[in-house]
Structure 1
Amino acid sequence: MTDIPDPLGLRERVLYRDAATIVLDKPAGIAVHKGPKGGMVLEDGFDALRFDAPAAPQLAHRLDKETSGCLVLGRTAKSIAALGKLFADRGVEKAYWAVVEGGPDGESGVIEAPLRKRDAQRGWWMVVDHAGGQPSSTAWKVLGRGGGFTWLELEPITGRTHQLRIHSAHMGFPILGDAIYGRAPRTGARLHLHARHIAFTLDGRRVSVEAPVPLHMTAALSLTGWRPAA
């Protein structure tokens, strides 16, 4: 295993590993799989995560290119299928941390705003459409405030593309660094959205993992009251 190249440094980003699964701390700024623009993607480094398995692991779900944090991989055909069913049946607990501009008036709530693709030319871009969109729900809770920002915990009750980003922007508090749905510039912005926690039960084994806060989010989080663990 040590002879297999690790060009993306993924082995040091493994948060959890057993015979069936790997939970990886995905870095921000790299797509998980190939798209129309080409270039290196996270999957290109999965061979380095074989460890004692005969084949590279495969994605059990997706994270946006600019989102960091917990990403689940399956290590066997059986576990990949089982994980896919867990995600499809909403059997996976997910919590994201976001720093948003401004913030909600209350301390917790649920955003209900149906979503659909904007158009074929915009690919994965989404819009709120109360007449023709798919039902979409996001639970939110305030974890801290300060400096004109709010630190939110977001739980995607449904799993639509870009759901957390567009729901936040739709409610008037876009995620900091969002160049698609927010006010960030097209270049140089860093999205402040992090898949902080994921948990599920597979074959009787409980898996519960937290991903460390990425460096690019620490300054803004500090303004809202977050402090690194001692």
Structure 2
Amino acid sequence: MLPGKELPILWENNHFLVINKPSGLASHPGPQTRDSVETRFVPQKRGGPWLVHRLDQETSGCLLIAKRKTPLIAAQKTFEKRLVKKTYWALIEGHLPSETGSITAPLIRSESKTGWHIKAVTSSTPQAQNAKTLWRVLGQNKDLTWVELQLLTGRTHQARVHLAHMGAPILGDHLYGKEYPGLPLQLLSRSLELTVQETHISAIAPPSALMARYLKDFPLFEPGLN
């Protein structure tokens, strides 16, 4: 289903597959983006395949794809009802105020001459979208924190903006944090879990080789990262 530059498949059945999208590969093609997950699809006679959701170009990890139209619609409804458990791993600069917690900060898209970005605003801001993120610290050293995130809402750049709003931007985030040339965003869609038409889908993505090297330096390093 994915020609040429194949992408690793984490889970598959007759109706869906979950791939491990690498950082730097867009989900959809764009005016200046020729290579993407979608452009690597082999078109099927009965249509498809289709992306059920998307990941930011800089984010790696679990991405769900539907092979048929009926399962696609059913899966999209499951996402709309927020019946999907999405877990992320991130390496962030600095530390969070506690080992576990949550942040609820509405988000809005902001346009400028150089492009667009998302910013955290107050609930009274017109057109702001509610957004909530849970966090759990998995390890830390004097400079960085390894954190697990659950996005209870699926807003654009949600994890990136919420962490930056707390003063702990994701390592390698040139848009909301510091720019380190050549360092990709250290944000991984670690796991995806949902049930669609009585089919339980569950996939776990391994960290990239670079992220794994960072994690091995943490005092609270967890085994079984593959």
TM-score (normalizing by structure 2) = 0.91
The answer for the alignment partner of 1:45 in structure 2 is 40
Are positions 1:94 and 2:86 aligned together?
Answer: yes
Q: 1:1-230 maps to which residues of 2 (within 5 A)?
A: 6-10=3-7, 13-47=8-42, 54-119=46-111, 121=113, 124-130=116-122, 131-132=124-125, 133-185=128-180, 187-224=181-218, 225-226=220-221, 229=224
Matches of 1:125 and 1:33, distance apart in 2: 18
Matches of 1:45 and 1:228, distance apart in 2: 33
Tell whether the 8 Å contact from 1:99 to 1:175 is kept in structure 2 after alignment.
Answer: yes
Matches of 2:46 and 2:221, distance apart in 1: 42
The code of the aligned residue for 1:142 comes to: V
Secondary structure in 2 matching 1:125: strand
**Structure with the larger helix share:** 1
Give the total of aligned pairs: 221
Matches of 1:227 and 1:70, distance apart in 2: 20
Matches of 2:206 and 2:158, distance apart in 1: 22
Give, in angstroms, the shift of residue 216 of structure 1: 2.1
The change in CA–CA distance for 1:96 and 1:122 in structure 2 (over 3 A counts) is: farther
The code of the aligned residue for 1:32 comes to: S
Matches of 1:173 and 1:23, distance apart in 2: 30
Tell whether the 8 Å contact from 1:190 to 1:216 is kept in structure 2 after alignment.
Answer: no
Deviates more, 1:88-97 or 1:29-38: 29-38
CA offsets 1:38-64 (integer angstroms, 9 cap, x no match): 32111111218x6xx854421000100
Matches of 1:34 and 1:124, distance apart in 2: 18
Matches of 2:221 and 2:199, distance apart in 1: 31
Gaps of at least 5 residues in structure 2 are none
Matches of 2:137 and 2:165, distance apart in 1: 17
CA offsets 1:139-179 (integer angstroms, 9 cap, x no match): 10111112411110011111110000010000011100100
Tell whether the 8 Å contact from 1:145 to 1:223 is kept in structure 2 after alignment.
Answer: no
Matches of 2:65 and 2:114, distance apart in 1: 28
TM-score (normalizing by structure 1) = 0.89
Give, in angstroms, the shift of residue 207 of structure 1: 1.4
